[in-house]
Amino acid sequence: MDNHIKFAAIAAMLCCAAAYAGDQQRPAAAGKETGGAVLPEFSTLDANGDGVISKEEARTQASLAAIFADVDANNNGKLDSQEYAEARNRIEE
């Protein structure tokens, strides 16, 4: 019986060590990041408060500007909050 407990404890330690090692390869969880640049919240980029992010507003974030056309689903030249959420998801991956 003691051997089963020892085996379970060793297996648990190995799993924890593997999980910890995997976390060390990811960037810090300070927000959505890419290349060290954190994408701000939608409201921060929406400088004029009109409820959308224009191409001009997106230019402040190079990673967002690079994929702007791809995430502008309705091709209106602006990102609404859902389109911006998609952009953040793509950049995070």
What's residue 53's pLDDT?
97
Whole-model pTM: value is 0.60
Would the pLDDT of 84 be above 90?
yes
Q: What is the CATH number of the domain that holds 57?
A: 1.10.238
pLDDT band for position 92 (cuts 50, 70, 90): confident
SS3 79: strand
Count of domains for the chain:
1
- Residues whose CB is less than 8 angstroms from the CB of residue 39 and which lie 6 or more positions away in sequence, other chains included: 31, 32, 33, 61, 63, 64, 87, 88, 91
Q: Are 57 and 67 in contact (CB under 8 A)?
A: no
Asked if residue 61 lies in contact with residue 37, where contact means CB atoms within 8 angstroms, the answer is yes
Domain housing 45: 2-92
For residue range 22-69, list pLDDT tens digits in order.
544 444 444 444 454 568 999 999 999 999 999 999 999 999 999 999
Ramachandran quadrant class, 25 (left: phi over 0; alpha: psi -120 to 50; beta: rest): alpha
State the amino acid at position 85 in one-letter form: A
Q: What is the DSSP letter of 36?
A: T
